[in-house]
Amino acid sequence: MINFNVPPYVDKALDYIQECVKNQKICGDGGYTRKCNEWIEKKTKTAKCLLTTSCTHATEMAALLCDIRQGDEVIMPSYTFVSTANAFVLRGAVPVFVDIRPDTMNIDENLIEAAVTERTRAIVPVHYAGVGCEMDKIMEVAAKYHLWVVEDAAQGIMATYKGRALGTIGDFGCFSFHETKNYSMGEGGALLIRDGKHIEAAEVIREKGTNRSKYYRGQIDKYTWVDQGSSYLPSDMNAAYLYAQLEVAEEINNARLANWKRYYENLAPLAQAGKIELPMVPEGCVHNGHMFYIKAAEIEERTALENYLKQNEVHAVFHYIPLHSATAGVKFSRFHGEDRYTTKESERLLRLPMYYRLTSDEVDYICDTVKRFYA
């Protein structure tokens, strides 16, 4: 069976974790956490990166930093992971969904302004498949109505929009290092902060509402409760596991991009024949090979293709059930405007296996199997 995902792993991880254990430095904010933060800050050119226990938690931190309150509205796509919405629902806010673009599956930047009300506080673009949303337009709407922008860049590390790293354009950006993502620490994530003036507040929220980070840096001689907060910092062992991958980040990225390109070229004739649709990367966006998906004609064909692939030892999977049609979505959120593409396009989409060590022979075999299905 060719799995849909195999979590990234590099051998050095074991040495680094052993070092943490031997030195009894396994709590949060140790040497490896610092190295990961610095690596991400340098790579993305953002003011500050704080490693977190998940992307979900990074988004919760962003919701706290934006001071989201009961009854506030937050605009986002419905075609996303539950955490994008939950982080704000936990603060009592109402997710307001707008439709996606069928070509990228990202929020339709031209529908956002019409969804803005007196209660709107933030826009949360999700960079699906590591392909950037139309950030210029989103930032323009945000500036006009004084809204926060929190980028769900869970899938977006190493990808750029007009030369800027995803996650660094809005006020806050959230990365995921879950084992299904390009770089993994098992469970983990990061909060990216564009403007230095929010760093101290973020450090307090992440350290249980205390100023312990300042204390560790020797800036104060005792630490205390200063604001609301929680525990969002990961063990340094998880950071050690991640750091081993960041050291070879380019190699991992290039391997994924090579597989993505091989899929694309291999399947292009099927797309030209009108049998399937392939993903689109807009001009100005550099993606990271996070995902390779194809679109079948409709849901029945997709299910048949998925089953055919399974019979042929290939594990392909569909993706999000749009949040507005989920039980909690009905309860907590609303859809603004027409659902022209969100449901329809999500039902056609099928993700093919994609991971660091997927071989070119395997990609060729998967493409041949897809071609046989359509023959």
Ligand X SMILES: *Cc1c(COP(=O)(O)O)cnc(C)c1O
Segment contacting ligand X by CB under 6 A, of 19-27, 81-89, 132-140, 362-370: 81-89
Segment contacting ligand X by CB under 6 A, of 19-27, 53-61, 64-72, 271-279: 53-61
How many residues belong to the site for ligand X (CB under 6 A)?
14
- Max CA separation in the chain (angstroms): 72
Shortest distance, position 252 Cβ to ligand X, whole Å: 17
Please identify, using beta-carbon distances, which residue of 44 and 80 lies nearer to ligand X: 80
**Mask of contacts with ligand X, 175-194, x by CB under 6 A?**
-x-x----------x-----
Phi, psi of 94 (to 5 degrees): -110, 115
Amino acid letter, 82:
V
Segment contacting ligand X by CB under 6 A, of 51-59, 280-288, 300-308, 321-329: 51-59
Please identify, using beta-carbon distances, which residue of 56 and 369 lies nearer to ligand X: 56
Please identify, using beta-carbon distances, which residue of 60 and 275 lies nearer to ligand X: 60
Shortest distance, position 155 Cβ to ligand X, whole Å: 5
Please identify, using beta-carbon distances, which residue of 181 and 262 lies nearer to ligand X: 181
Please identify, using beta-carbon distances, which residue of 242 and 276 lies nearer to ligand X: 242
Listed residue (204, 197, 206, 203) closest to 54, CA to CA: 206
Shortest distance, position 47 Cβ to ligand X, whole Å: 22
The span from the CA of 102 to the CA of 50, in Å, is 33
Residue from 44, 46, 78, 84 touching ligand X (CB under 6 A): that is: 84
Is 152 a residue that touches ligand X (CB under 6 A)? yes
**Alpha helices, H only, the chain:** 12-22, 31-44, 55-65, 82-89, 112-115, 135-145, 199-206, 212-216, 236-246, 249-272, 299-311, 327-332, 342-348, 360-374
Amino acid letter, 278:
L
Shortest distance, position 51 Cβ to ligand X, whole Å: 11
Listed residue (315, 295, 299, 268) closest to 104, CA to CA: 295
Listed residue (34, 42, 245) closest to 25, CA to CA: 34
Counting other chains too, the contacts that 261-264 makes at CB distance below 8 Å and 24 or more residues apart are 262/360, 262/363, 262/364, 262/367, 263/292, 263/352, 263/363, 263/366, 263/367, 264/292
Please identify, using beta-carbon distances, which residue of 182 and 210 lies nearer to ligand X: 182
Residue from 46, 78, 80, 168 touching ligand X (CB under 6 A): that is: 80
Is 81 a residue that touches ligand X (CB under 6 A)? yes
Please identify, using beta-carbon distances, which residue of 44 and 56 lies nearer to ligand X: 56
Listed residue (368, 324, 317, 362) closest to 343, CA to CA: 324
The span from the CA of 274 to the CA of 218, in Å, is 64
**Alpha helices, H only, 45-132:** 55-65, 82-89, 112-115
**Mask of contacts with ligand X, 108-147, x by CB under 6 A?**
------------------x---------------------
Residue from 33, 44, 46, 54 touching ligand X (CB under 6 A): that is: 54
Is 154 a residue that touches ligand X (CB under 6 A)? yes
Segment contacting ligand X by CB under 6 A, of 10-18, 108-116, 152-160, 254-262: 152-160
Please identify, using beta-carbon distances, which residue of 151 and 275 lies nearer to ligand X: 151
DSSP 254-316: HHHHHHHHHHHHHHHHHHHTTS-B-----TTEE-----EEEE-SSHHHHHHHHHHHHHTTB--
Judged by the rule CB under 6 A, the positions of this chain that interact with ligand X are 54-56, 80-81, 83-84, 126, 152, 154-155, 176, 178, 189
